[in-house]
Chains A and B, each alone.
Chain A
Amino acid sequence: MKKNIFTMLFTLTFLILPLITYGSPPFFEGKTMRIMVGVSAGGGFDLHARILARHMPKYIPGKPTIIVENVTGAGGLICANQLYKAVEPDGLTFAHFNGGFLFAQALEQPGIEFDARKFGYLGCIAKENAVLWVTKASGLRSIEQLMASKTPVKLGGTGIGAYAPDSIIRIWKAVSNMPVQLVTPYKGGAQVRLAAEAGELAGSVISWDAMKAAWPKRFETGEAFVLLQAVEKPMKDLPKVPTDMILAKTEEGKKLIEVGVHLNNIFARPFVIGPNIPKDRLEILKAAFEKTMKDKEFLAECEKSRLPVDAVTGDELERAVMNAFKTPKPILDKLKDVIYKQ
């Protein structure tokens, strides 16, 4: 009997002692976290979140389980609104939706029920990095040829307010009188590519990574060409393709491209968390996100799926969003006109 009590005391000491010395177990331990994805399952957007959900737990103390839940509707706006209004501020739920809605708030668009300045920002796995591409059949080989075209060049869009193609094409047209005709709305990038293949369109403006994944050989074999890139500095594998800054002739034009195209590019695919999250939890998640971006298995899995990794940290992302809101009013008004007016 005595021996038993002794054993019990011994065991208890060794069970309880670690708890006392190391404090209470980490908050995330044994918890299930959710990533709400604003689009339906299957696309690159959704897959990024799913791969993240597999690897991020390693870097969160307590190794929670992360599940992905598709909250679709209104292009992701329902997801963004829900994150702001209806999610418990416990740090267990974050979201991945079209970052264009964050800018849409700065442009006073309807339907927005959140304040982007109050969200928490974890980071981005990739930027959009869009390019203007055309098919061989269009006959166009350079941006100069396109600018000199007598008839409008038909470029496909996927609907008003879509960062790429629609908004970028509208901004370019506004700053340079580019002879292009935006034919819209096709249901998604795949339909645009199909219409271009069928000769209905000359091309479009779509993420370079998505184009490389969908048409892996055509840009090498000369069946399609990249004429212009919608980024600040040329991308590594497109060193000779001009950036869209060459279109801007005035200071205002430069500013429109800077804000409407390049700044938006940074927060096009954000991972966002709701407002009023306890600061320590937010910091844990931000750090975990950043570490995951360098995780070997995570990178290998993205590469196998041909998904881009061009990470943005939480702080960079937050700065970009705040900068969008600090843009001078005349520029925002002009962008509102260019992007949304008929």
Chain B
Amino acid sequence: MVELLNAFISGLTQIFTFSTFMLMLVGIAIGFIVGILPGLGGPATIALMLPFIVKMNAVEAFAILLGMASVLGTTGDITSILFGVPGEPTAAATILDGHPMAKKGEAGRALGAVLMSSLVGAIFGAFVLALFVPIVRPLVLTFSSPELFMLAVLGLTFIASLSGGAMLKALLGAGIGLFLSTVGMDPQTGIQRFTFGQVFLWDGVGLVPITMGFFAIPEIIDLGIHRSSIAKEKVKKIGGVIEGVKDTFRHIWLVIKCSAIGTFCAIIPGLGPAVSQWLAYAQAQQSAKDKSRFGKGAVEGVLGPGASNNSSMGGSLITTVAFGIPASVLMAILIGAFLIQGLVPGPDMLIPDTKGGHLSLTFSFVWIIVISNIITVGICLLFLNQLVKVTYVRGSVIIPIILLLVYLGTFAEKNAFPDIILMLFFGVLGWVMERLGWPRPPFILGLVLGNLAETRLFLAVDSYGASWLLRPAVIVIMALTFAGVLIPILRSRRKGKTEEKEGVTEKEQGDRTDKKALGIRFTWSAAFSLFIIIVFAWALWYSRKFTFTARFFPMVIGIPVLIFAIIQFILDLTGKGKKVVEEVPGGEHEFEAKLPQDVVNRRTAGVFAWTFGWFLGIWLFGFNLGAPLCTFIQLKLGEREKWVLSLALTFVVWAFVYLVFDRFLNVPFPKGQFFLWTRHLF
């Protein structure tokens, strides 16, 4: 025990040597510069740093890397809130309420809340890392394939809380997400499932193009329709940063709970922040009294994901340090740093230095996370009020910038151009879902849990036969799952009865949807349901050629989805499905009601045209020329902005793309098609 305490203190003192502390600051500074750029995020930058750490000692090396990583976890939330563009796929849940807050003019409050809750989460996660040192190995080893499968199932029960009342649609969405996770080469059989001969689909559909498309594109379209700034109202005091900080402490219990969720998910290989953000969001919603505020800018919806995201850093370091299992690309690069330093992740990292281990180094990680998060949040709080001003810039100027961030962010994650096409596809899908009242979070949750569920189910059966069902931990998780499903149902029944007594009418909600319905009986909703039916009928028919193992999961998911889709279609046709449309994200159509329908249609078409125009520009002329060109055309010819402004912004875009990405970060942009066609001319 004394040894543990000694190592803990020694870990702290190690950071406060001059060179280590300076390197941590350098890491933080670099993190700031690149962290604010969506998609580029950590991995690419941290990989760039690897060669430099060869000559450093271990504490210095990790000071710079973890310092950088800590900032990246925090800054991803900023673009989510300000623009509705997820800075990282793990910051998507922050959009649901963070961006509506920005629209209400409360960007400052949302940012204050997300930063403060991030800080609490990070500190929580770091200290869990420290406390768990003695028990981390036995704890992680409890979770074998059967338990991991059951955890994936348990995670799926959170769909109910993410449904926003549209239960059938939520189930369908989750099913579609689960099904989509089977796209790619099945690693068990080597069979290509739904890849259409495209090698880039072998690994399945990436999370970045989906979250970018799903959340950012509908926001861009919304912005294009209103043609106003992001913030539609000016709020004085309540919109301030300090208010958000106070919110964190008003809901401190929620923040702690969500930090725990984030840490726990990060400890379990295969879960991680991509999952825990949604569980945290669901938790925030469940524990709130008035659930109808969610999706319209409830601060709890920002606090939950904010806390869980940053707490996952400590959690994922646990598996990285103790087992050498990276929970994310970022952690994989940290393992690379371990290797370069000649360190071996494993039991040695948890043994006191006096016994030949590196425990004080492990504890120094705890302190680096804590201190660099405090510094980061401190700096952010200083500049937040400036950042918030961006939400008051007029839409015509801000849209090209957001489009650039979306295209760059989507591309730069894997340097893959096909991801951009996927992003556009999911952008359209996300927009349709948003318009028709389909909750998007269950879809994402299904997608991120699908792989884990499928592989671990097969591994469990392969290893244990049917006896995996009898493992004690499996039974416990199963009980939790049933409780998770049944309790909300019972609760809502009871609530339903009381509401009936109080005479809450559903008519209001019904009226609102009628405005969206463009047809009489065969509505757009029905058309979309029919589309799902056709796609799934085809997909099931197509999968008949697979072997049993490759077909099993798609069948088990696909058949219920098909049945539910048929029910939904009938409900849509008969008009009964319209009762429940209170969607989780974005209930902001109240502004639109003021605009005549033909104006809305025209502007929607316009903003779609710009979005695809950008694609065309980048495809034809590459990023270096295409992006500035599109910016200029959109500003000068499209929006008729002044020459000075148009040229200045075009220059900024060019400098950003060419100097930062191409020259400095060496991002390998593809050549424009135009130049490939005309190659022989030059």
Binding site for B on A (CB under 8 A): 34, 40-44, 46-47, 50, 53-54, 67-75, 77-78, 81, 110-111, 113, 154, 158-161, 181, 183-187, 190-191, 193-195, 197-201, 213-216, 301, 304-307, 340, 342
Contact = CB atoms under 8 A, between A and B. Distances in A.
B265 interface: no
Interface string B308-352: 000000000000000111100100111110011110101000000
Contacts of B190: 159-161, 340
Interface in B93-146: 140-145
Nearest to A154: B463
A40 B140 CA distance: 25
B462 A214 contact: no
Contact of A306 (B140, B332, B344, B464): B344
B414 A72 contact: yes
Given A54-B51, A215-B346, A43 B336 contact: yes
Contact of A213 (B54, B269, B344): B344
Contact of A194 (B185, B323, B332): B323
A187 B459 CA distance: 11
B650 interface: no
B336 A194 contact: no
B534 interface: no
B326 A42 contact: yes
Interface stretch (B76-84, B198-206, B423-431): B198-206
B350 to A, nearest CB: 14
B228 interface: no
Contacts of A194: 140-141, 269, 323, 325
Contact of A78 (B54, B144, B200, B547): B200
B181 to A, nearest CB: 14
A47 B339 CA distance: 9
A47 B200 contact: no
B202 A50 contact: no
Nearest to A185: B187
Contacts of B200: 73-74, 78
B206 to A, nearest CB: 9
Interface of B: 43, 46-47, 50-51, 54, 140-145, 185, 187-190, 192, 197, 199-200, 202-203, 269-270, 323-326, 329, 332-336, 339-342, 344, 346, 414-416, 455, 459, 462-464, 547, 549, 666, 668
Nearest to B323: A194
A194 B269 CA distance: 10
A41 B199 contact: no
27 contacts: A40-B43, A41-B46, A41-B47, A42-B329, A43-B336, A46-B47, A46-B336, A67-B666, A69-B668, A70-B47, A73-B199, A73-B202, A75-B202, A77-B199, A78-B202, A113-B199, A159-B190, A161-B190, A183-B463, A184-B188, A190-B323, A190-B325, A190-B326, A200-B145, A215-B346, A306-B344, A342-B549
Interface hub of B43, B187, B203, B462 (most chain A Cβ within 10 A): B187
A41 B329 contact: yes
A195 B145 contact: yes
Contacts of B414: 72-73
Given A74-B203, A110-B192, A41 B187 contact: no
Contacts of B141: 194, 197-198
Contacts of A187: 269-270, 455
A41 B43 contact: yes
B324 A47 contact: no
Nearest to A72: B414
Task: Return the 10 tightest CB-CB contacts between A and B, nearest first.
Answer: A159-B187, A42-B332, A41-B47, A42-B336, A74-B202, A185-B187, A160-B190, A42-B333, A198-B141, A190-B325
Contact of A74 (B185, B339, B346): B185
Interface hub of B190, B346, B464 (most chain A Cβ within 10 A): B190
A111 B195 CA distance: 11
Nearest to B46: A41
Given A81-B199, A195-B459, A340-B190, 10 more contacts: A40-B329, A70-B415, A78-B199, A78-B416, A110-B197, A187-B269, A195-B145, A197-B323, A198-B144, A304-B340
B22 to A, nearest CB: 24
A89 to B, nearest CB: 14
A167 B324 CA distance: 24
B329 A342 contact: no
A122 B335 CA distance: 28
Contacts of A198: 141-144
A160 B142 CA distance: 27
A197 B140 CA distance: 10
A50 B336 CA distance: 11
Nearest to A111: B199
A190 B416 CA distance: 27
A329 B202 CA distance: 28
A260 B333 CA distance: 32
A305 B346 contact: no
B144 A73 contact: no
A53 to B, nearest CB: 8
Given A42-B47, A185-B455, A198-B141, A214 B329 contact: no
Contacts of B199: 73-74, 77-78, 81, 111, 113
B344 A214 contact: yes
B189 A342 contact: yes
Given A41-B336, A305-B342, A185 B188 contact: yes
Contacts of B189: 160, 342
Given A183-B462, A190-B324, A194-B269, A160 B187 contact: yes
Nearest to B345: A214
A317 to B, nearest CB: 24
B188 A42 contact: no
B334 A42 contact: yes
Interface hub of B270, B335, B336, B341 (most chain A Cβ within 10 A): B336
Contacts of A191: 269, 325
A148 B72 CA distance: 54
A74 B184 CA distance: 9
A186 B269 CA distance: 11
Interface hub of A50, A113, A158 (most chain B Cβ within 10 A): A50
A17 to B, nearest CB: 35
B339 A307 contact: yes
A198 B464 CA distance: 13
B269 A71 contact: no
Contacts of B202: 73-75, 77-78, 111
Contacts of B324: 190, 193, 214
A307 B342 CA distance: 9
Contacts of A34: 668
Given A41-B50, A190-B323, A47 B336 contact: yes
Contacts of B54: 54, 301, 304
B323 A304 contact: no
Contacts of A43: 332, 335-336
Contacts of B144: 195, 198-200
A183 B199 CA distance: 26
A245 B332 CA distance: 36
A317 B169 CA distance: 56
A184 B47 contact: no
Contacts of B464: 200
Contact of B666 (A41, A69, A215, A305): A69
Contact of B332 (A40, A75, A154, A159): A40
